[in-house]
Amino acid sequence: MHKHQSMRLSELHTGEKGVIVKVTGRGGFRKRIIEMGFIRGKEVEVIQNAPLKDPIHYKVMGYDVSLRRSEAALIEIVSHSEFKEQQAPVSHGETPLLHTVSPSEIQSIAMEKGKTINVALLGNPNSGKTTLFNHASGAHEHVGNYSGVTVDAKDGVFRQNGYTFRIVDLPGTYSISAYSPEERYVRRYLNEEQPDVVVNVVDASNLERNLYLTTQLIDMDARMVIALNMYDSIQKRGDTFDHESLARMIGAPIVPTISKTGFGIKELFDRVIKVYEGEDPVIRHIHIHYGEDIERGITGIRRSLKQNCHIGKGLSKRYLAIQLLEGDPETERWIRELPGGEGVVKERDETVAQIESLLHEDSETAFTNARYGFISGALRETFEPGKIQELKSTQIIDLFVTNKVLGFPIFIFFMWLMFEATFRIGAYPMEWIELLVARMSNGIRLYMPAGPLKDLLADGIIGGVGGVIVFLPNILILYLFISFMEDSGYMARAAFIMDKIMHKMGLHGKSFIPLVMGFGCNVPAIMASRTIESRNSRMITMLINPLMSCSARLPVYVLLTSAFFPQKASLVMLALYGTGILLAVVLARLFKRFLFNEEDIPFVMELPPYRMPTTRSILIHMWEKAKQYLRKMGGVILVASIIIWFLGYFPLQPEQEDASVRQQNSYIGQIGQAIQPALAPLGFDWKISVSLLSGMAAKEVVVSTLSVLYTGGEEEETQALSKRLQEDTNSDGTVVFTPLTALSLMLFVLIYFPCIATVTAIARESNSWKWGAFVIVYTCLLAWLVSFAVYQTGSFFIRL
């Protein structure tokens, strides 16, 4: 998260002057301080600011004013010294120009700085925040039609109507209680960063649940604009919603938006400007009335907080009182640490007992009920459901895709279709790229004088990188399908139908989302497991995620299936993905049994309505993937290819030696032959063994290494890698690669050592390198066992 640092009034020393940029903070304090003359562009002089002395004495608009240090810290300024720093020449050695700071210059900077609005985007998961963020900021962040896509804050900057917006897309949350990591994250962000305006994105198709978060923001006294997103769903259903009345009721402007098309987004940020400038006619702070008994409790705790604890003006005491009465553990811990906090907590305990005895329900439930009561009341006055309640298309589709009998076959059919398209359609552009790579290689062989650079370019760089780049179309097609399934909402259904299996694994259906994301790349998938509340489920999900076949493994599969299973390529690929899932199921069960055997917290899984994904969003996904793939080509794959070539070229040997003998005697040959005995029972020769070793950096490197090592004779060098693999022979004349060897290799690649980025992600997310090491050990052992079983059983049957 990026915090934009700016100078605060409290940082000025005695005698220094500054010009006000903005007053942050909330509610009554902010209003009072503005009324006192602390407005943008006005000059303030420090009369006395002694260290450890409170309050500080200021002069503004000719009046002497005293402010507490904590209050002055909420006022953003531009100081004269800061202005001078900005004017200083950038390059060294230049003589600084003598320049007297004129008040008008500082004032104009303050006015300009004051036109920067920090906006936080907040809303329920899957309410369209990220799409709105992308539209507004022009970013290309990943979106998906299921909850938990945003797991970290992302920021963007854009300009509109002369204002600069620093916009932060926060993870989706249903509330800002401190239960899940993202709830804690969002709450901490709002309290610590204090954005100027919060844009609360509300899904118009599910108003009641979405407005729950809004009620908490009202309690928090956040300056808020509501984006009534997916507004078209209201129109489609024929509902009537008087959002302007609701806005007036809750004191926050509501702007209809459709983030998918960009409708209303400009108007939304126009309204943000109005709110920021204090010109919006609708904005006002309201109190949600929690009923007499609770309100009495809130007032008591609030008073106690004011009297006993020194809490900054940036936090609403009423909000803190509500949090304490709701039993929020984080707020309680914080209050306890303050002087006088223990007494407040004791009073809270007494008040809670009193409320519970009066209402016959626990305090937290009483607050939740009151909030839903508030929402229900507000909607009854402003919202009228459509008269014609026809069966929605979502329900019709769900009848089939989430059906107990049909759900699974449909899921398997979609997966098969995805692989078939990846393989068949991808074969055409793959051929074209192959041709291009061969031409480049031939050109170098023909026109360059003999020498090591020619060999490095033709065999090492073009051979290695070219061997992998040909799979770019296949990866893009795979991503096209994954993006379509994610954005349309089908992936959430897949999670739903997998729920039963997930339960058997000791996980919840929600864990399936990070697992499915793992088909694209394991690293963001592991990061997405943050959204799982229970640590047990989260850990298991992270540990089994490397078994999901990521797109980096696709080049290995496409290469070997096209060479050895051309007729049944899709089925073999489906079986490989299926094996990954099956192994994940078994291991999750084992991990649950032996490592994480505590009970999990139950929670509800939601099924978002189906949406037709936009071409733009799918193209963005594909483009991003293509960029990443090409960057990988120029990074890890290029470097690995060069290293493999060097190790295969040196030490230099007599020219008269046969190419294969030279390769065997090279450094790489020696390394390969050293590790080969461990992998020989799996059917691998030394070249495959080396490929697996180098593939630890990234799985595509397996292919680039094979491409560098399997150069064969002069004739074979221009052939496609698949052909070279088919024709390569051992010294005794037997072929190196049989379909069984290929299958054993694909299974090994599927299971063994996740790439370094994945291991690092697991270590980071689990806060321990122990789990990173554990994943390395278990995947390598498991890969060996599975490949051994397959190869030896297969060989046994072949011999019969």
Partner 1 sequence: MWQEIIVLLIGLATVGYVGYRLFRLFTARRRRHSPCEGCCGCAAGNKK
Q: Residues 385, 635, 677, 713: which binds partner 1 (CB under 8 A)?
A: 635
Nearer to partner 1, 134 or 316 (CB): 134
User: Which segment (23-31, 229-237, 291-299, 755-763) binds partner 1 by CB under 8 A?
Assistant: 755-763
Q: How far apart are CA 499 and CA 402, in angstroms?
A: 11
Q: Does 762 bind partner 1 (CB under 8 A)?
A: no
Tokens of 556: 């290995």
Cα 703 → chain centroid: 29
Report in angstroms how near the CB of residue 550 gets to partner 1 at its nearest: 8
Could you tell me if 128 and 260 are in contact, meaning their C-beta atoms sit under 8 angstroms apart? Answer: yes
Q: How far apart are CA 71 and CA 21, in angstroms?
A: 15
Report in angstroms how near the CB of residue 426 gets to partner 1 at its nearest: 20
274: burial class by Cβ within 10 Å (0-12, 13-18, 19+)? Answer: middle
How many CA atoms are closer than 13 Å to the CA of 435, on its beta-carbon side?
6
Nearer to partner 1, 316 or 758 (CB): 758
User: Which segment (75-83, 138-146, 221-229, 675-683) binds partner 1 by CB under 8 A?
Assistant: 138-146
Q: Does 646 bind partner 1 (CB under 8 A)?
A: yes
Q: What angle do CA 796, 797, 800 make, to 5 degrees?
A: 90
Q: Does 642 bind partner 1 (CB under 8 A)?
A: yes
Whole-number Cα distances in Å, 117 to 132, 273, 455, 518: 17, 8, 57, 37
Q: How far apart are CA 127 and CA 258, in angstroms?
A: 11
- Helices vs. strands in the chain: H and E counts, helices first: 37, 13
Q: Residues 26, 154, 317, 445: which binds partner 1 (CB under 8 A)?
A: 154
Nearer to partner 1, 451 or 654 (CB): 451
Tokens of 163: 């204002």
How many CA atoms are closer than 13 Å to the CA of 756, on its beta-carbon side?
8
Q: What angle do CA 525, 528, 534 make, to 5 degrees?
A: 120
User: Which segment (123-131, 435-443, 736-744, 750-758) binds partner 1 by CB under 8 A?
Assistant: 750-758
Report in angstroms how near the CB of residue 382 gets to partner 1 at its nearest: 38
Exposure string over 199-231, b if 16+ CB within 10 A, otherwise e: bbbbbbbbbeebbbbbbbbbbbbbbbbbbbbbb
Residues sharing a CB contact under 8 Å with residue 105, sequence separation 6 or more, in sequence order: 83
Q: How far apart are CA 648 and CA 756, in angstroms?
A: 24
379: burial class by Cβ within 10 Å (0-12, 13-18, 19+)? Answer: middle
Could you tell me if 514 and 545 are in contact, meaning their C-beta atoms sit under 8 angstroms apart? Answer: yes
Q: Residues 454, 535, 589, 723: which binds partner 1 (CB under 8 A)?
A: 454
Q: Does 628 bind partner 1 (CB under 8 A)?
A: yes
Alpha helical stretches, state H, 462-521: 463-469, 472-488, 490-497, 499-505, 512-517
Tokens of 142: 């990943």
Q: How far apart are CA 157 and CA 118, in angstroms?
A: 9
Tokens of 37: 């003359």
Tokens of 555: 């080049």
Nearer to partner 1, 278 or 452 (CB): 452
Could you tell me if 516 and 577 are in contact, meaning their C-beta atoms sit under 8 angstroms apart? Answer: no
Nearer to partner 1, 258 or 523 (CB): 523
Q: Residues 698, 701, 747, 783: which binds partner 1 (CB under 8 A)?
A: 698
Report in angstroms how near the CB of residue 408 gets to partner 1 at its nearest: 29
- The total of other beta-carbon atoms located within 10 Å of residue 94's CB is 9
Nearer to partner 1, 520 or 580 (CB): 520
Q: Which residue has the tokens 């039963």?
A: 500
Report in angstroms how near the CB of residue 146 gets to partner 1 at its nearest: 16
Q: Does 129 bind partner 1 (CB under 8 A)?
A: no
User: Which segment (188-196, 452-460, 531-539, 604-612) binds partner 1 by CB under 8 A?
Assistant: 452-460
User: Which segment (52-60, 217-225, 348-356, 631-639) binds partner 1 by CB under 8 A?
Assistant: 631-639
Residues 524-553 that bind partner 1 (CB under 8 A): 524, 527, 552
Report in angstroms how near the CB of residue 767 gets to partner 1 at its nearest: 11
Report in angstroms how near the CB of residue 580 gets to partner 1 at its nearest: 17
Q: Does 639 bind partner 1 (CB under 8 A)?
A: yes
Q: Does 11 bind partner 1 (CB under 8 A)?
A: no
Of the candidates 501, 486, 540, the one whose C-alpha atom is nearest the C-alpha of residue 407 is: 501
Q: Does 377 bind partner 1 (CB under 8 A)?
A: no
Residues 176-235 that bind partner 1 (CB under 8 A): none
User: Which segment (319-327, 501-509, 625-633, 681-689) binds partner 1 by CB under 8 A?
Assistant: 625-633
Nearer to partner 1, 646 or 788 (CB): 646
Helices 554-564 and 700-709 sit at what angle, rounded to 10 degrees? 50
- The total of other beta-carbon atoms located within 10 Å of residue 429's CB is 15
Nearer to partner 1, 95 or 767 (CB): 767
User: Which segment (135-143, 248-256, 265-273, 414-422) binds partner 1 by CB under 8 A?
Assistant: 135-143
How many CA atoms are closer than 13 Å to the CA of 241, on its beta-carbon side?
24
Report in angstroms how near the CB of residue 2 gets to partner 1 at its nearest: 6
Q: Does 651 bind partner 1 (CB under 8 A)?
A: no
Q: Residues 71, 76, 155, 459: which binds partner 1 (CB under 8 A)?
A: 155
How many CA atoms are closer than 13 Å to the CA of 220, on its beta-carbon side?
25
User: Which segment (128-136, 594-602, 723-731, 760-768) binds partner 1 by CB under 8 A?
Assistant: 760-768
Q: Does 472 bind partner 1 (CB under 8 A)?
A: no
Report in angstroms how near the CB of residue 521 gets to partner 1 at its nearest: 3
Nearer to partner 1, 586 or 639 (CB): 639
Q: Residues 64, 152, 337, 381: which binds partner 1 (CB under 8 A)?
A: 152
Report in angstroms how near the CB of residue 459 gets to partner 1 at its nearest: 12
Q: Residues 435, 453, 595, 798: which binds partner 1 (CB under 8 A)?
A: 453
Q: Does 449 bind partner 1 (CB under 8 A)?
A: yes
- The total of other beta-carbon atoms located within 10 Å of residue 469's CB is 24
Report in angstroms how near the CB of residue 770 gets to partner 1 at its nearest: 14
Nearer to partner 1, 31 or 454 (CB): 454
Q: Does 626 bind partner 1 (CB under 8 A)?
A: no
Q: Site map for partner 1, 705-744, x if CB under 8 A?
A: ----------------------------------------
Residues 509-528 that bind partner 1 (CB under 8 A): 520-524, 527
Could you tell me if 258 and 231 are in contact, meaning their C-beta atoms sit under 8 angstroms apart? Answer: yes
Nearer to partner 1, 149 or 320 (CB): 149
Q: Does 142 bind partner 1 (CB under 8 A)?
A: yes
Q: Does 556 bind partner 1 (CB under 8 A)?
A: no
Strand order in the sheet with 17-23: 63-67, 56-60, 43-48, 17-23, 75-79
Residue 66 has phi, psi (to 5 degrees) of: -110, 135
- Binding-site size, partner 1 (CB under 8 A): 38
Could you tell me if 424 and 478 are in contact, meaning their C-beta atoms sit under 8 angstroms apart? Answer: no
Q: Residues 436, 631, 661, 729: which binds partner 1 (CB under 8 A)?
A: 631
Q: Residues 82, 242, 624, 716: which binds partner 1 (CB under 8 A)?
A: 624
Q: Does 636 bind partner 1 (CB under 8 A)?
A: yes
Task: Please give the residue ranges that form the binding site for partner 1 (CB under 8 A).
Answer: 2, 140-142, 152, 154-155, 449, 451-454, 456, 520-524, 527, 552, 624-625, 628, 631-632, 635-636, 639, 642-643, 646, 698, 755-757, 760-761, 764
